Structure 1
């Protein structure tokens, strides 16, 4: 089975599985983006979150506790209000933190060049401790201030999702036009010519290997690796 067929089989298998997220479905604000990616043969998504405001209780030794062992006091994919946070904080027994997490997509890509289209990161987040050992460490006025910031980030996150979707759609359409207007024979000829040229410059190096200029070490691409590349996407400048 060639790599393209293996990728298609892997994609079909993954997309047929049940959604194991807490919500059990794709978030409304990211549905179109997920559908756009899954509708292209070179991509498929494995998980997604459109962005959320959460209140977590990390327990007594919160600094060392993993996320999956936390108590989720509040989770919303929409702007929240102070009263909801205050009520949720009363359930905290350890170190509770208020977080805003932006859009996250985990995407499998058929080839490295496909993954490069999605290479975007962001630091558009928020994480603030509110309690220690169940005791509230800040004022309600400060909590209200934090909620306003988190809600502002949520609104900005929605705008970034839309910009990212439009830019990605444009890039994929441009790629499709480029591929259909350029004969496959020319692409094959160009690739073969490129490999031959590299061999002439350095006969000891084979095509499919890259050399860093700094230390002249080879970075080999193994044809037997998994047929996809996992990419985490955080919209920032789109």
Structure 2
């Protein structure tokens, strides 16, 4: 426990090495809430973004622009307009891909049960691709992820390969995904607050009450349809991980 606290202090004292250099505004309170808990430490995050990425000549690998060598002609963490994309495309000289990347969050947890709590909150909030990774040396990472991505090639060697009407259609789809993404982030924040309060209440309750109360992360039922955005129910109603560990040597646990 003491070792985790020391590591967390060192981690949070580091400079932000992301391209932006700071936590996205839309998730700043969420990140602060997690890091305010002794047992959690966020290691990387992105609120979700729309971007036009360009790779150099022959940069495609199965129609995927490699992140390592690509440049961003346009990026926003908000909704965008067709004109934004068309203006960015005018600067294209290589192969471009228009992408929507949803919210992602990596959190190192002190104990496995802490990661399980976050995993349950993530699943209840709509982030169905979330999972827990346990490293060889016992490092416990919880990744919050979803699957509603979008990635479409638009130009080749600077030449637009689709119509402007199609770009407009694509932007509308991407904006709808971004709106849904923000709703899920709100649900995650609200669910996390509720889970932490519930857990604290259980710890302060008499032992008999604790035995009768189900944990917020041990039992799940099917999610009720048409749940209101931003409303969290209990579990009864139902951009990359750290490089210190070798991914191939990790054990992935999905619940």
Q: What TM-score does the superposition give when structure 1 sets the normalisation length?
A: 0.73
- 1:128 aligned to which of 152, 157, 176: 152
Q: Where does residue 85 of structure 1 map in the other structure?
A: 85
- Alignment partner, residue 10 of structure 2: 13
Instruction: Kindly indicate whether residue 54 of structure 2 is the aligned counterpart of residue 57 of structure 1.
Output: yes
SS of the aligned residue for 1:91 comes to coil
Distance in 2 (CA, whole Å) between partners of 1:81 and 1:142 is 13
Matched, 1:172 2:169: no
Q: Give me the whole-angstrom Cα distance separating, in 2, the residues matched to 1:182 and 1:76.
A: 49
1:133 deviates by 2.0
- Larger proportion of helix: 1
CA distance in 1, matches of 2:55, 2:197: 45
Paired with 2:59 and 2:165, the residues of 1 have a C-alpha distance of 24
Q: Deviations over 1:72-99 (max 9, x none)?
A: 1101011111112111112222220000
SS at match of 2:184: helix
Report the Cα distance in structure 2 between the residues aligned to 1:68 and 1:8, rounded to whole angstroms. 33
**Offset of 1:182 from its aligned partner?**
5.8
* Structure 1: segments with no counterpart, 5+ residues: 188-224, 233-238
SS in 2 for 1:63: coil
Secondary structure of the structure 2 residue equivalent to 1:93? coil
Aligned partner of residue 13 in structure 1, secondary structure: helix
Partner of 2:184: 160
Q: Which has the higher contact order (CA 8 A, sep 6+)?
A: 1
The separation in 2 between residues aligned to 1:71 and 1:176, in whole angstroms, is: 46
Paired with 1:71 and 1:22, the residues of 2 have a C-alpha distance of: 11
SS at match of 1:168: helix
2:17 is the counterpart of 1:30: no
Aligned residue number for residue 70 of structure 2 = 70
How many pairs were matched up?
185
2:9 alignment partner, SS class: helix
SS at match of 1:174: helix
